[in-house]
Amino acid sequence: MSMFPIFILRMHFVKRLWYQTPLSRNMCTIITTPQLNYMINTYIDNNNVKQAHKLLEENPLSCNIVSWNMIMTTYVQHNQFGLARDLFDKMPHKDAVSWNIMLSGFHKARNSEGLYHCFLQMGRAGVVPNDYTISTLLRAIISTELDVLVCQIHATAFHLALNLNVFVGSSLIRAYAGLREEEALSRAFDDISMKDVTSWNALVSSYMELGRVVDAQTTFDQMPQRNIISWTTLVNGYVKNKQVNKARSVFDKMSERNVVSWTAMISGYVQNKRFIDALKLFLLMFKTETRPNHFTFSSVLDACAGCSSLIMGMQVHPCIIKSGIPNDVIWLTSLVDMYAKCGDMDAAFCVFESIRNKNLVSWNAIIGGYASHGLAARALEEFDRMKIVGATPDEVTFVNVLSACVHAGLVDEGEKHFAAMLTKYGMQAEMEHYSCMVDLYGRAGRFDEAEKLITNMPFEPDVVLWGALLAACGLHSNLELGEYAAERIRKLESNHPVCYSMLSKIQGEKGIWSSVNELRDNMNERGIKKQKAISWVE
């Protein structure tokens, strides 16, 4: 008898087990390990990880480490890290892959401390780390309180000769860049035995992060080979160092561009407040075969908001819908922000309501939009609704809330929220919050409270805060305090035009024309021109 009919009978039997017939429940132990792995893999491919997990538990004798690792990986990928940890704890045997899956889960959950403890347990269990282990650990602790461990991890990698590995070496380069250890990152690069384009890209990126633009360009020029990531890394580096024209020069030299490189350049223009250039580049991108993604559209909407181009924003909106990009909290929030900054709060609210999984940035966009348009009641309503759904406000939220109170003259309401920052949310007020409160007290003519707040501040007031006080003095013709605020502004910015204009206004209202004329002569001598209007706080 040929093997083919036997194989068909075998697969038929597996199928009966798979669909949980009575036969499968009674004889599940006869499933072989390859069959179990195949079935688990198929369940996972069909997004049925629960059934795969159940099959694993029903066939303990056929389970091997591969079966456990496949399900744990799926749980981590679907942000179900708790289930992955439960499964990990039940595993009778673990290999390096099992531990690496858990390390990846901690990294994805941004739990650097948990990741480090997991790494220690891995060592105590006698499992030797591999290149993936070290790379994951280094990526996870960068820019955290655990970044002091980089040298110790480097020593471990050196002991295992993993520092010669290109992935570990590249991770070490980026880790030392985060610590601003220039010599150490150069040594980490030199130690890599077989340098490839990834390691060269890491070195270019690290030099750019340290502000060593010339070294980054020199390294780029010396690269034996480059890919599109290399060019995009250089563009991003110049953008971060505020050399946007140089970034555009590099971008124009690229023989090939993808959506990441286009988005990097558009975003670079937006970051440097060159909104019109960003929109022009977006229109140029549309003439190519490269299709924008949700990050591209988000940057373009930010550009529309920056230059208050409602017409352009309204044209971009249907382009996003026609592109088939699924609703995403990133570009939808940018759309809310665009409509709000362009003055169409009805459209902003409609888009905001369409966001299913609103994040903190989404809430800040709608609250800030209402606050900037003087719609304090609506801003505070959304703030209350935000707290009801369980979202925790941050410093930006409270700037928006206090700004809303300023516009509406709600002193008591502002005091309540200002106090709640520390007492309820454990947040220390920053300069922007103090500026809002000084503006709030000043507009209400409550200068004693404003002065007391300034005196008790944990840091020195800046120009914006003194400007808010000076503007309030102008509103209430408070000459004495106005002169004091103007003098403080002049010490910080000697030629600030609004300082002179506002003080001149107060003196004129008091009828002190000799002082007005003297102030104007001083302005002419310094070449200071009078400004018509300015907002200090916003």
Domain boundary pick from 57, 78, 93? 93
Which two three-digit tokens encode residue 11?
A: 């697969």
Distance CA 523, CA 428 (A): 39
Q: With respect to residue 298, please indicate whether it lies within any of the assigned structural domains.
A: yes
Which of 168, 173, 246, 244 lies closest to 206 in space, CA to CA? 173
Domain boundary pick from 309, 337, 357? 357
pLDDT score at 62: 64
Give the count of beta carbons closer than 10 Å to the beta carbon of residue 78: 12
Cβ contacts of residue 186 below 8 Å, gap of 6+? none
pLDDT score at 490: 72
Domain boundary pick from 66, 93, 120? 93
- Residue 148 per-residue DSSP state: G
pLDDT digits (tens, 9 = 90+) for 84-132: 898 898 888 889 999 999 999 998 888 888 888 999 999 999 999 999 9
Q: With respect to residue 344, please indicate whether it lies within any of the assigned structural domains.
A: yes
Q: With respect to residue 17, please indicate whether it lies within any of the assigned structural domains.
A: yes
Q: What is the pTM of this model?
A: 0.75
Instruction: Please check whether residue 429 is in contact with residue 445, taking contact to mean a CB–CB distance below 8 angstroms.
Output: no
Q: Which CATH number fits the domain that encloses residue 287?
A: 1.25.40.10
Which of 46, 58, 47, 50 lies closest to 17 in space, CA to CA? 58
**Is the alpha carbon torsion for 216, 222, 228, 229 positive or negative?**
negative
pLDDT score at 171: 93
Residues of the chain below pLDDT 50? 1-29, 508-538
pLDDT score at 17: 42
- Residue 63 per-residue DSSP state: -
Q: With respect to residue 489, please indicate whether it lies within any of the assigned structural domains.
A: no
Cβ contacts of residue 529 below 8 Å, gap of 6+? 497, 523
Give the count of beta carbons closer than 10 Å to the beta carbon of residue 321: 9
Distance CA 483, CA 503 (A): 7
Q: With respect to residue 39, please indicate whether it lies within any of the assigned structural domains.
A: yes
Backbone angles phi, psi at 150, to 5 degrees: -55, -45
pLDDT score at 502: 57
Q: How many structural domains compose the chain?
A: 2
Distance CA 482, CA 486 (A): 6
Distance CA 317, CA 392 (A): 29
Distance CA 271, CA 25 (A): 61
Q: With respect to residue 456, please indicate whether it lies within any of the assigned structural domains.
A: no
145 class by beta-carbon count within 10 Å (0-12 exposed, 13-18 middle, 19+ buried): exposed
Q: Given phi > 0 = left and psi -120 to 50 = alpha, else beta, which region is 254? A: beta
pLDDT score at 387: 94
Contacts of 437-440 with C-beta under 8 Å, sequence gap 24+, read 437/402, 438/465, 438/468, 438/469, 438/472, 439/406, 439/468, 439/469, 439/471, 439/472, 439/536, 439/537, 440/402, 440/405, 440/406, 440/409, 440/410, 440/411, 440/414
pLDDT digits (tens, 9 = 90+) for 146-173: 888 899 999 999 999 998 999 999 999 9
Distance CA 203, CA 215 (A): 9
Q: With respect to residue 178, please indicate whether it lies within any of the assigned structural domains.
A: no
Residue-number span of the structural domain to which 81 is assigned: 1-93
Distance CA 234, CA 72 (A): 37
335 class by beta-carbon count within 10 Å (0-12 exposed, 13-18 middle, 19+ buried): buried
DSSP H or E segment with residue 215: helix 213-222
pLDDT score at 498: 55
Give the count of beta carbons closer than 10 Å to the beta carbon of residue 200: 24
Q: With respect to residue 220, please indicate whether it lies within any of the assigned structural domains.
A: no
pLDDT score at 42: 78
pLDDT score at 533: 44
pLDDT score at 30: 58
221 class by beta-carbon count within 10 Å (0-12 exposed, 13-18 middle, 19+ buried): exposed
CA 320, 382, 357: angle at the middle one, nearest 5?
A: 45
pLDDT score at 51: 75
Distance CA 130, CA 55 (A): 30
